[in-house]
Structure 1
Amino acid sequence: MILYRNNDDLMCKIFATTLQDEVQNWFYTMPPQSIRNFYELSLVFTKEYSSYRSIKKKSDHLFDVKKNPKESLRYNVRRFKAEKARIVGCNDSIARAAFQKGLPVDHPLFRKLIMKEDLTLADYFALAEKHALWDEAHQCTFKDLKKYPTSPP
């Protein structure tokens, strides 16, 4: 297309041949003579379809993933891993810091992570899994105690 950049009519026609499916339908449903040159066409096209492009997230986006008070640790880890998977080339050291920062300060896992500096992200997730199991076992035991009191009423 660079060879024809001074010929607006040809540029618009060549552009139309690169379109497919609903984008091609959009192009052919535009009112006749509503576009005067390729520059206008590129502006209209960009305005119409710029919201469809995916926004690339960076590693520091993970600092927005925080554990909600009523959320289980297991679900929080699952959510964090899903967000991390969406980041191409995610930096593990930033991910470790973000995961730790997303935990409440009073959470036992937070204390454990802050004390150990040589842990990998995989180590963080393994520790989180152990804590999630402990939390779930603790909750089951607590519910059982409520159902079956140890002393008579």
Structure 2
Amino acid sequence: MAGASDAVMCRGFFATLDGQAQDWFTSLPERSISTFTDLSRKFLSYFASSIPKKKPFSNMCKLEQGSTEMLTDYLNRWKKEARTVENFDEKAAIPIFTSNVRSGPFHRDFVQNRPKTYAALLDRAARFAEADEAERKKKEEERGRRDKRGYLGQYVKRTGQGRPQGPGNVWKKKGGSEPPASGSRKRELDQLTEEDEKESYEPHPREKQVIHVIFGGPEGGDTQSERKKWAQNLYVGEVVRQPHEKKPKR
């Protein structure tokens, strides 16, 4: 519109209006507008109440970064608030922004190497915000990989876990039979089979996975002390998966 006449400017301005502003324009009396300056003055006078009030620049001093607020969110909030203040002073905004950010590597870098211009401040803050967001996503990915465990993985016996079974923890069937004897017990009783001999002399035997199971029903007695004593005497057995049959290597 540069260099256009006032008549073209007024008609072009009408093309940008809508709703209430357009209704106001069409209600103007004929020949009441002689120049575009008259149109601008009447327009601003009529819609003066709709112009948002500008906030004082001192409000930026209260805009501090929250204790858990990401730098990206704080930077967006700072920019949005900066557009609503009156007479925004870019030079004075540099120390205010530096003071309002939370302590950490970003604040330390700004103190040690204070940016010379407001544009340089926003550029450096944006780069720190991107790095901060990338680090947050990386930590979430690593935490997710640590939390993934197999089905019933929390019940599988790990090396060094489990308590030794004393005489009071040995389970017996109602018929009086005992659980299968271990390899060392079979050796004492001279009951080792050929399969057991091969397994006992394996240089690196495969570690068996064990799931501890509590046997018992809704019992325990009528008093709290009886129920506590009953719970302490529960047998913790072992469910052991039999190793796969070893195939000879050629």
How many Å separate the matches in 2 of 1:54 and 1:86?
Answer: 9
**Gapped regions of structure 2 (runs ≥ 5):** 1-49, 150-157, 159-250
How many Å separate the matches in 1 of 2:143 and 2:81?
Answer: 37
So what's the TM-score if we normalise by structure 1?
A: 0.57
Tell me which of 82, 85, 90 is aligned to 2:83: 85
Aligned-residue Cα RMSD (Å) equals 2.4
Larger displacement relative to structure 2 (73-82 or 107-116): 107-116
Higher radius of gyration, 1 or 2: 2
Q: State the Cα deviation string for residues 48-71 of structure 1 (Å, max 9, x = none).
A: xxxx99654222210111111121
- Is it true that 1:132 corresponds to 2:129 in the alignment? yes
How many Å separate the matches in 1 of 2:139 and 2:55?
Answer: 40
- Written as runs of structure 1 = structure 2, the 5 A alignment for 1:5-44 is none
Q: Residues 119 and 58 (structure 1 numbering): CA distance in 2 closer, same or farther, change over 3 Å?
A: same
- Written as runs of structure 1 = structure 2, the 5 A alignment for 1:71-110 is 71-104=69-102, 106-110=103-107
User: Does the 8 Å CA contact 2:72/2:133 hold for their aligned counterparts?
Assistant: no
Q: Percent identical across equivalent pairs?
A: 18
User: Does the 8 Å CA contact 1:84/1:95 hold for their aligned counterparts?
Assistant: no
- Written as runs of structure 1 = structure 2, the 5 A alignment for 1:110-121 is 110-121=107-118
Q: Letter of the 1:77 partner, please give it.
A: L
Tell me which of 56, 59, 63 is aligned to 1:58: 56
So what's the TM-score if we normalise by structure 2?
A: 0.36
Deviation for aligned residue 1:89: 2.2
Deviation for aligned residue 1:118: 4.4
Q: State the Cα deviation string for residues 77-99 of structure 1 (Å, max 9, x = none).
A: 11111111112321112211221
The runs of 4+ residues in structure 1 deviating greater than 4 Å are 52-55
Aligned residues: 100
Q: Residues 148 and 65 (structure 1 numbering): CA distance in 2 closer, same or farther, change over 3 Å?
A: same
How many Å separate the matches in 1 of 2:76 and 2:131?
Answer: 17
How many Å separate the matches in 2 of 1:57 and 1:117?
Answer: 27
Judging by fraction of residues, say which structure has more helix: 1
Q: Residues 75 and 89 (structure 1 numbering): CA distance in 2 closer, same or farther, change over 3 Å?
A: same
Deviation for aligned residue 1:72: 1.3
